[in-house]
Amino acid sequence: MQHMNSEAQHDFDRRSFLQATAGTALLASGNSLFVSSLAAAENAQQADAASKLIVHTRISRNAEPQLDALVESWMTPVDQFYIRSHAPNPEIDRGSFRLQVVGQVERRLDLSLDDLKSGFTNVSAIATMTCAGNRRSEHSAVKPIKGVQWREGAIGNARWGGVRLSEVLKKAGLRDSAKHIWFDGLDKVDYRGGTIPFGSSIPIEKALADSKEMPGALLTTHMNEKPLTPDHGAPLRLVVPGYIGARSVKWLGRIVVSDRPSPNHYVATAYKLVEEGTKLEWAEGGPLYRYPLNSVICTPATGGKLKAGKATVTGYALPPGQAETTIARVGVSTNGGQTWTRANLTSAARQFCWQLWKAEVPVTPQTTDLMVKATDSRGHTQPATVNWNLKGYMFNAPHRVKVDVGG
């Protein structure tokens, strides 16, 4: 029970404890709690009554919104934003909190939340966050994959408020040897019998890639104009526009300026594309940084009943995490990709942000499924298939939903 530290976490765990003990096995082993995998699977099927999200796991929180709710607005409300955490939320005292900046710098920094707020320019930017494991369940359908079985909701678009990473790095003074910036969280992830912080790193070029409206990376205290919630990394998290969510470290405690990528497990071994997981493959594979071009049908849902005639289809499309790239067009097919109906893009087109779309397509009793495919402003289109990989990352083949059309 040692994880029940912060009050919010305590309430949450107490609630899940009560739910878990109500009908399913709960095993206390050593100092951790394990809900039986059967119970976890059952839980994953149900929407949590207290939140609007579909909960995959409770002790480390992993949850995603229902797709119809997700595309109700271009800016994702915090209570509809997916949560992906590898460990329970850490307890952090705002008053004594200090962000450390160390490594290949002229001077080390030790910054309180007030120092960050008053010592640097306050900026905000809208950017989409998505997990490299979004749509993992479609990889799993080919061959089962361990881990959270994300559907298509591990994505959200928010306004992130804070200070530019580059400004903080400039204050510390980068030495010539500086090539990569490491980020360590204050959480404790179980790893090989001990614990490690969740960590990431990004190339220095990305850290310094500020444009007028978009920082290369942002040290954020706010999400959609409100202080970050514990689930999303309070009091301070990194946000790296265009990169997989795993690079945007929550509960950020330490920045290390280095001449190489971070040795943290989540850079050195996880978040790579490997097939068998041999030592050689892990060593050869490069860390994933940018997320890929993607699109998803959010309504109707799989199994949806439609009337023959015109059907309205809605969803999201995500340009790849490359600067100055947006969605050029989205097509919906009702005949397995032989012909495509062009969708209307119904929200703003901006780099590093998803776009919502809506299409009217003809359906007949012979229509069995709907399919979507996006093309970006550089002329790239989603691949027809994606190679299966051991961790189930980066699934971005055209999304299909099965539908049932009545006469």
Residues that bind ligand MTE (CB under 6 A): 81-86, 129, 131, 185, 187, 198, 232, 245-246, 248-251
Residue closest to 24 by CA, chosen among 12, 46, 42, 45: 42
Task: Provide the β-strand partners of residue 184.
Answer: 199, 254
Give the interface segment with Mo ion, choosing from 57-65, 85-93, 109-117, 243-251 (CB under 5 A).
243-251
Give the interface segment with Mo ion, choosing from 78-86, 135-143, 214-222, 397-405 (CB under 5 A).
78-86
Partner from ligand MTE, Mo ion, none contacting 85, C-beta within 5 to 8 A by type: ligand MTE
Which residue carries 């007030």 as its tokens? Answer: 114
Partner from ligand MTE, Mo ion, none contacting 198, C-beta within 5 to 8 A by type: ligand MTE
Size of the chain, expressed as the number of residues it contains? 407
Is residue 359 within 8 A of residue 351, CB to CB? The reply is no
CB of 371 to ligand MTE, least distance (A): 26
Q: Where are the strands (E) in 95-154, listed by range?
A: 99-103, 109-111, 122-130
8 φ, ψ (degrees, to nearest 5): -65, -45
151 makes contact with Mo ion (CB under 5 A): no
Measured from the CB atom, is 163 or 394 closer to Mo ion?
394
**What is the C-alpha R_g of the chain?**
22
C-beta atoms surrounding 348 within 10 Å: 12
245 makes contact with Mo ion (CB under 5 A): yes
Q: Out of 20, 39, 131, 239, which residue is the one contacting Mo ion (CB under 5 A)?
A: 131
Nearest-CB residue for Mo ion: 131
Partner from Mo ion, ligand MTE, none contacting 392, C-beta within 5 to 8 A by type: none
Task: Provide the β-strand partners of residue 249.
Answer: none
Number of H helices, E strands in the chain: 9, 26
Partner from Mo ion, ligand MTE, none contacting 164, C-beta within 5 to 8 A by type: none
16 φ, ψ (degrees, to nearest 5): -70, -30
Please, where are the H alpha helices in 31-112?
Answer: 37-45, 67-70
CB of 185 to ligand MTE, least distance (A): 3
345 makes contact with Mo ion (CB under 5 A): no
Measured from the CB atom, is 131 or 274 closer to ligand MTE?
131
Q: How far apart are CA 153 and CA 139, in angstroms?
A: 15
CB of 183 to ligand MTE, least distance (A): 8
CB of 371 to Mo ion, least distance (A): 26
CB of 118 to ligand MTE, least distance (A): 25
CB of 289 to ligand MTE, least distance (A): 13
Q: Out of 3, 58, 61, 84, which residue is the one contacting Mo ion (CB under 5 A)?
A: 84
136 makes contact with Mo ion (CB under 5 A): no
Measured from the CB atom, is 230 or 245 closer to Mo ion?
245
Burial 157-178 (b: 16+ CB within 10 A, else e): bbebbbbbbbbbbebbebeeeb
128 φ, ψ (degrees, to nearest 5): -90, 135
What does the binding site for Mo ion look like in residue numbers (CB under 5 A)? 84, 131, 245-246
